[in-house]
């Protein structure tokens, strides 16, 4: 898998293989960033806790694996190639149901990781 940007082409295949093998729970690696967006590769072996983002919209593509997305009271099974859009303020979490899921996540605006608000369901 490669990502093309004005800075050049990044082949992510090696990174995906290395991190997918080593991740214990959840880990994110920044791929690209501007003032308006942040793009991350998110590796999930377990599950996220229920949360929402107060100031960010999130779109993600399932690059590898499969799992379930809980979004705004509903569950949806996702597999490689599926895309999810999560508007700011909507409670969500992803549960991995494979060995490891790899998500290409894009936050808008730029994301510093500080507006993830945990909730009890």
Delineate the domains of the chain, giving CATH numbers in brackets. 2-118 (2.60.120.10)
Confidence at 29, pLDDT banded by 50, 70, 90: very high
- The closest alpha carbon to 20, from 100, 117, 110, 107, belongs to 100
- What is the per-residue pLDDT for 87? 98
Are 6 and 35 spatial neighbours (Cβ–Cβ below 8 Å)? no
* pTM as predicted: 0.95
Rounded mean pLDDT of the chain?
Answer: 96
Please count the other Cβ atoms lying within 10 Å of the Cβ belonging to residue 69.
Answer: 20
């Amino acid at each position: 898998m490669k990502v093309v940007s004005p800075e050049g082409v990044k082949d992510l295949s090696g990174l995906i293989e290395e991190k997918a093998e080593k991740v214990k729970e959840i880990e994110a690696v920044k791929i690209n960033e501007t003032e308006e967006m942040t793009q991350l590769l998110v590796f999930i072996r377990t599950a996220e806790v229920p949360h929402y983002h107060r100031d960010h919209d999130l779109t993600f593509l399932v690059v590898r694996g499969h799992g379930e997305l809980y979004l705004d009271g509903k569950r949806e099974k996702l597999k490689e190639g599926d895309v999810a859009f999560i508007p700011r303020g909507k409670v969500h979490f992803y549960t991995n149901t494979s060995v490891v899921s790899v998500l290409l996540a894009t936050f808008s605006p730029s994301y510093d990781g500080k507006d993830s608000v945990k909730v009890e369901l």
